Chain A
Amino acid sequence: MSTPTTPPANGDVSGAEITLDSVVKRYPGQRTNAVDSLSLTIPAGEIVMFIGPSGCGKTTSLKMINRLIEPTSGSISIGGEDVRAKSQDELRRHVGYVIQGGSLFPHMSVARNIAIVPKLLGWDKKRIAARVDELLDLVGLDPDRYRHRYPRELSGGQQQRVGVARGLAADPPVILMDEPFGAVDPITRQRLQDELLGIQRELHKTIVMVTHDIDEAIKLGDRVLILQEGARVAQYDTPDAILAAPANEFVDDFVGSGSALKQLTLTRVSELELTRRTTAKVGERSADAIARAEQAGDSSVVVLDDRNRPVAWRFLRQLRRHDVVQPGDREALVVLDSRATLNDALDTMLTSSHGGAIVCGARDEYVGIVDFDSVTDHMRAIEREAVAHQEAAAVDGGGIPGASA
């Protein structure tokens, strides 16, 4: 297995380690094993992405962790405890499960969907109601507005958010996600990914996610597990290591070429120097905000709500229409999480009339603005660094440090 790296972020890790030990799954009537002796350690508090061609056994491997599929042989443990120690239902109530499209129950309101597992665990009503509101807030849906809605009244992205909230409901240490963002449009997907990273920054769960999108794997994963047919491990390492040194031709093909593009998926917005823009609070006098903006030479103002979350990005002429700064629809505003990739940032900037994108940090709080200049500056700096590194390497006669598989 790979060498352990430092945990991704500060704070308490609430996740649990998952280990798979020579796990085999053979379906009756099939000659080859669907999963052929998979051994793996998933460190606590990390996001591990399972990726591989279809039929490689990645989903089977995921479902064996919560025993939706029982392994033929081998053992799996979560936090040191064998998953067969408890009944299936008991186990699954402590392992979050998020599926493509959210798989919400259409006849239950959003609140009831989220409350299922807490109810099964016998929480009292007050605690459940509080938890539902907390989770809706966490996934960026206003509880008062969405609590009583039915799934069909939500957009695809909103349904998926509720699906994530349902998976988090009982605060499980481990969350399994089966292609959770596969069914939504690219912009919504990017936003959901950013939100997941934001949530993970706060919660530090152990998240195992199956995906078929290598960009998603590289963006979200602390580690990426690339599987070949029969769930044989082609490479299991950090995204940087996989991109820098693919273990074999299969991985190389799978990851694809184009190192500059890869850099775009590998670099996070938080690594850039963000520019400051004049901000205004909702309810503030417009004249004050305009005066500040003019002094700073800005043509637009980022409007923040009372929790410092951006709700709108307005030009000064828009501000002049009202005496006080008007509230905006936070959900209609496209923002970037600080852990979004440069790829996402470029996408978002292209659709923005401001030639930039608002960057948010923890709990959707405003951090700054990223614009084209800062991205291109960063890319140039990387290029210079790479050239310098190559020259140095040529002098040393050394190669790229290898990564283990």
Chain B
Amino acid sequence: MDQYSQQLDGIFQALADPTRRAVLARLGRGPASIGDLAQPFEMALPSFMKHIHALEESGLIETRKQGRVRICTIEQKRFAMIDGWLRDQRAIWEGRTDRLQRFVEAAAKGQKT
């Protein structure tokens, strides 16, 4: 659970920046090279690379070398994790309610007999 929280923290930290969100939005349409990704931003390449590294460290994107360019793609499992967070909470509450129901219904039966 702690590791899970840490991973989520990393994801949300990576998302808390407009440049990184714009990069993700672009990658949502398909893979792109770092050069193409950097083009819309008035930013020196080293600064832009910091954003790419942050995204890569959070696991939200993957990069791989293809010839002379580096291609970035979105890592869908990470996005599923954000969504999975609420599903996990729901599963916890469903389980709790199941157990409460069994406990109370057993107690009610015990009272009648």
Q: Say whether A and B bind each other.
A: no
List residues of chain A with CB under 8 Å of any chain B CB: none
